[in-house]
Chains A and B, each alone.
Chain A
Amino acid sequence: MSEINELYQDLILDHTKKPRNFEVLEGASRHVEGYNPLCGDRYTIYVRMEGDVIRDVSFQGSGCAISKSSASMMTTIVKGKTKCEAEAIFENFHKMITGQSGVDKNKIGKLEVFHGVSEFPVRVKCASLAWHTLKAALGGEEKTITTE
């Protein structure tokens, strides 16, 4: 498979074309905007917390295939997880897309489809935008987040 096809895997393209949880979340307890002005990628992540648990999560916005599919897949994965669990998933994911060692392959799950991003360093900021935004929302931040 070429590096391009490694990057744009079917599951990624599927989430780009049919993003999941792509809506404003009614009754959201927090929402934070993530914006990369150089690319124009802009998303708002909505979360509804119950204590420490992400009871519901959604997103809105627009951007490239990598950023959108990453946001979409993230919402499907972190729903029902605790803040700590979600942060651990992000940490593992971030190691993988930046090509670092120590990725826990058993815990990466379907996020594995983003492994090709590590070959495209300028696209790391696309794949991580939604995650950084979620992390900010979980941490109670309200200002706009950027990964540029």
Chain B
Amino acid sequence: MMTTVFDVQQYRKDFPALSQKVYGKPLVYLDNAATAQKPQCVIDTLDRYYSAENANIHRGIHYLSQKATDAFDEARDKVARFINAKESREIIFVRGATEGINLVAQSYVRPLLKPGDEILITWMEHHSNIVPWQMVAEQTGAKLKVTPINDAGELILPEFEKLLSEKTKLVSVTHISNALGTINPVKKIIQMAHALSVPVLVDGAQSVPHQAVDVQDLDADFFVFSGHKLFGPTGIGVVYGKAEHLEKMPPYQGGGDMISAVTFEKTLYNKIPYKFEAGTPHIAGVIGLGSAIDYVSAIGMSRISAYEHELLEYGTRALSKIPGLRLIGTAKEKASILSFVLEAAHPHDIGTILDQEGVAIRAGHHCAMPVMERFGVPATVRASFAFYNTHEDIDALVRAINKVFEVFR
């Protein structure tokens, strides 16, 4: 077996944004749950595409169009392998996880719903996994049900089981909470739901950058994620759906590429996945995402996961020593997020002071207002890691927090 020393300093060199200074201080980037920095290979891929390969796909008979089409199709294969989809045609490109959830809400769930039916989510969802369901509920007369969480920020599974019924038409659950870092037992949740023949959507926006995902092993019906949190470009995301579902679903949007023949009387829709990809897609984004997947796959998701776990433990120990600091989200199964509040200062004041120290974190409700309400705080400070973060980054965070105490002495 090869040695598995995780050479984080070597990886950091791949990310040009990480070596800059802000306010004359080295940047400590701990806002990865919002978006991740990009490795040079992704930037180069975008550059190469626009410099030398730009053409529209699936329609040209010329050299460049064929080249772009090949690169585009190859990226779909990469995504399929990355999350272990059975077939590439189960991968649909969208703008991001948010659009992915909206696609499933409107194309899969909406036609199934009758008044009184239910959609079951959890208390720790991002707004993007709440609002699309509220919209579809309003359109159909269905109800939104919410599984509660405990004080550690873990799902209460017996409550989930109680809420699950023959009225439930879909369960939608985040894989990892963006506000708390909780890793949900999605495989178990899916088993429980499938026992009642209820399909499950998993929001993987926060999980794909941090751990290996196998949609077949999970047996997820739908799985969505965004490219930009996975070190890829913004504006590109993925919906994985089991082919059996996708085949039955009506298109999400109408336009070019999603048709096989159009007359004014009738349109024949294209096969999957193209049926769901109306219009010229974000070709550069798709190819860039493929490059990001190549990059993290070469490092290895299980090695990334192990390294980040150790980093999280180090960070948890370091923050726990700070007087008056309360961690929000203390689940046993947790990944890459330290969300906290201080008695001494409000999260926004902390955010401003940390920023001046070069430490980039997020202060606010993290698009998860129900979570904030559950823990009785208006906002939290959230430090979120990627595999390129170091123990020194955590030390810098702690030093910056001490600066808050100096200001609010």
CB-CB under 8 A for A123 and B365, given A42-B378, A62-B378: no
Interface residues of B in 355-398 (CB under 8 A from A): 356, 363-365, 369, 372, 377-379
Distance of A38 Cα from B347 Cα, bound (Å): 11
CB-CB under 8 A for A5 and B378, given A38-B364, A64-B346: no
Are B352 and A7 interface neighbours, CB within 8 A?
yes
Min CB distance A64 to B, Å, is: 4
Distance of A2 Cα from B25 Cα, bound (Å): 14
Is B349 among interface residues, defined by CB-CB distance under 8 A? yes
Are B378 and A2 interface neighbours, CB within 8 A?
no
Distance of A62 Cα from B244 Cα, bound (Å): 51
CB-CB under 8 A for A40 and B356, given A64-B349, A65-B349: no
CB-CB under 8 A for A65 and B408, given A3-B356, A4-B352, A7-B352: yes
Min CB distance B290 to A, Å, is: 34
Which chain B residue lies CB-closest to A125?
A: B348
Are B353 and A40 interface neighbours, CB within 8 A?
no
- B349 surroundings in chain A (CB, below 8 A): 8, 64-66
Is A139 among interface residues, defined by CB-CB distance under 8 A? no
Are B379 and A40 interface neighbours, CB within 8 A?
yes
Most buried by B among A2, A38, A122: A38
Are A4 and B379 interface neighbours, CB within 8 A?
no
| Of the residues A3, A39, A42, A123, contact of B364 by C-beta under 8 Å | A39
Chain A to chain B: the 8 pairs with minimum beta-carbon distance, closest first: A40-B378, A64-B346, A64-B348, A40-B379, A65-B349, A8-B407, A64-B349, A4-B356
Distance of A122 Cα from B379 Cα, bound (Å): 16
Are A8 and B365 interface neighbours, CB within 8 A?
no
- B363 surroundings in chain A (CB, below 8 A): 39
Q: How large is the interface on A (under 10, 10 to 19, 20 to 34, 35 or more residues)?
A: 20 to 34
| Of the residues B345, B352, B372, B403, contact of A40 by C-beta under 8 Å | B372
Min CB distance B259 to A, Å, is: 41
Q: How large is the interface on B (under 10, 10 to 19, 20 to 34, 35 or more residues)?
A: 10 to 19
CB-CB under 8 A for A37 and B369, given A4-B407, A65-B408: yes
Min CB distance A108 to B, Å, is: 22
Min CB distance B217 to A, Å, is: 38
Min CB distance A102 to B, Å, is: 27
Most buried by B among A5, A8, A64: A64
Distance of A107 Cα from B378 Cα, bound (Å): 35
Which chain B residue lies CB-closest to A122?
A: B352
- B348 surroundings in chain A (CB, below 8 A): 39, 41, 63-64, 66, 123, 126
Ordered by A's residue number, 13 sampled pairs between the chains whose C-beta atoms are within 8 Å are A8-B349, A8-B407, A8-B408, A38-B364, A38-B365, A39-B348, A40-B347, A40-B378, A40-B379, A42-B378, A63-B348, A63-B378, A126-B348
Are B365 and A40 interface neighbours, CB within 8 A?
yes
Distance of A69 Cα from B346 Cα, bound (Å): 12
Distance of A40 Cα from B403 Cα, bound (Å): 23
Which chain A residue lies CB-closest to B345?
A: A65
Min CB distance B320 to A, Å, is: 24
- A7 surroundings in chain B (CB, below 8 A): 352
- B403 surroundings in chain A (CB, below 8 A): 4
Min CB distance B127 to A, Å, is: 11
Distance of A108 Cα from B114 Cα, bound (Å): 61
Distance of A62 Cα from B349 Cα, bound (Å): 13
Which chain A residue lies CB-closest to B408?
A: A13
Min CB distance A129 to B, Å, is: 12
Min CB distance A18 to B, Å, is: 14
- B377 surroundings in chain A (CB, below 8 A): 40
- A64 surroundings in chain B (CB, below 8 A): 346-349
Interface residues of A in 18-71 (CB under 8 A from B): 37-42, 62-66
- B345 surroundings in chain A (CB, below 8 A): 65
Interface residues of A in 82-131 (CB under 8 A from B): 120, 122-123, 126
Distance of A126 Cα from B127 Cα, bound (Å): 24
Are B408 and A120 interface neighbours, CB within 8 A?
no
- B352 surroundings in chain A (CB, below 8 A): 4, 7, 120, 122-123
Distance of A68 Cα from B345 Cα, bound (Å): 12
Min CB distance A66 to B, Å, is: 7
Known: A2-B356, A4-B353, A40-B379; 8 extra A-B contacts, CB below 8 A, are A4-B403, A5-B407, A13-B407, A37-B369, A39-B348, A64-B348, A65-B346, A65-B349
Distance of A21 Cα from B408 Cα, bound (Å): 22
Which chain B residue lies CB-closest to A38?
A: B364
- B372 surroundings in chain A (CB, below 8 A): 40
Min CB distance B89 to A, Å, is: 40
